[in-house]
Amino acid sequence: MYEFTPFYYHPLSYSQHANLCRQWEKAKAASRAEELKRLKRDRFQSALDKLRQLGWGDELDLLAPKYKPLTRHEPLRAAQKLTDRIWQNIGGGVVAILEDIRDERYRTKHTEVLRKRLDALCTVILNKYSNSPRTVETEYKPHMCDIITMPEIREIVHSSNDAALGSQSEEKVRALLPSLVDHWQTRACEELTRLASRWTKCAEGADVLSLAATHFVCSVCTKLLPYPEVLAHNCLRYLAPVLFRHPYNQYMIYEIAAWTVGVNGQPWNSQLLIGPGQRFHERIRTIIKLCGQDPDRTTRQELKNLNVYISYPRYNDKNRVITLRTAVEKEWQCWTSKSRHDESVEYKGRIATEAELSEAQRGGQEVLWSKHDYPWCCSLCTPRGDDRSRFSLYGIQAHMQQMHSINNASEKEGNFYAYPECGMQPF
């Protein structure tokens, strides 16, 4: 009779078998992972081959060797063979990615051409402008951001795909510039006249812009602006919007090219101007009447020729002698101040007497000249953008010496001038 003899495994045999199983499992997983990688590589390579056959080789060469963003496109990451049927389903999305890349390449190339042409254009314009030293009147002319957006100038810039502007185009710009400047100033005056006529009383036949009573208000900073200083106000040429130090709209190719050559402002825009309000306008008229003049006819130049000063009460019961321009600006500050708001038409100032004027002159009450710390602009520097540097009196003299080798520079010699927005110009 057969006798069954049981067989016992040694504990060490169980451990060895478990290790062998784990090793087999790891090897199997590694093999599967490698196979999946191979399938993904083959799928991606098949997609690249199909794209090259469709004529996208240039774009693929730009993306090589990492081929982003194609490597992040989910339909190309699947571990599955790329069949013709699958390609028909996913090919359109892949091609759309390359179309965006191609469009961006064309935009970049075109922007670079425009940048070089605009750079040369700006040089031509600045050389034309710098034939004579800049003055405060120069600020009232179109700035670079105004000129390069004119249709005639844009036509010249877009007339060729050559990066060089060319001598013929340069001569055309020089010939057109005087008439373009005149046309811009005429159009700006027409817009300002139309606006001022809404709130300024004007006698028949009088020029509303030349009236001493005519003022505008910037809707951005609420500054009170007479003419022609309103033509130079910074807010009306606000900076182009940027995101991460670059114009936010990728399709604004011309604007991006202008931005890269230092022209970072928008064209002068009168739509940002509003009126000071009828009640404040009446207060300005009251000040003009105080000088014995008719506010419906009196111009700023006529008031300047009167050489009239205003004695204005201070909080310590002492009067301060100020110019008419300062008197109007002070009233506007009080008018817009919530703590000292006064809507009455009555004016608290009066014409300064000879004694008050003499005492003020002896005391050195140069209100306008000390009102702003950095009012001075260099007459020889010609910036492209609207980021013109302003200096103190010491700073502008040091600038003239260091940058232009001019010692003892002065306003009288025409080396520098007062920026028009700073209230330095006569009423």
At residue 170, the pLDDT reads 93
CB atoms within 10 A of CB 217: 21
Mean pLDDT in residue range 3-15: 59
For residue 367, the model assigns a pLDDT of: 46
Q: How many CB atoms lie within 10 A of CB 133?
A: 15
**Local structure of 181: helix, strand or coil:** helix
Q: Which two tokens stand for residue 295?
A: 């506010």
Entry pTM:
0.76
Q: What is the pLDDT of residue 186?
A: 95
Encoded tokens for 145 = 């951001």
Place of tokens 């419906």: 296
pLDDT at 342 over 60: no
Per-residue pLDDT band at 210 (split at 50, 70, 90) = very high
Average pLDDT (394-417) is 90
Which sign, positive or negative, has the C-alpha torsion 91, 97, 103, 105? negative
pLDDT at 11 over 80: no
Sequence-distant (≥ 6) Cβ neighbours of residue 63 within 8 angstroms: 70, 101
Q: Is 271 exposed, middle or buried (0-12, 13-18, 19+ CB in 10 A)?
A: exposed
Per residue in 253-265, pLDDT (tens digit) is: 888 888 888 887 8
Is 278 within 8 Å of 199 (Cβ atoms)? yes
CB-based contact 193:208 (threshold 8 Å): yes
Average pLDDT, the chain: 83
- 349-393 pLDDT, tens digit per residue, is 788 888 887 777 766 544 444 445 667 889 888 777 666 678 888
Mean pLDDT in residue range 6-17: 64
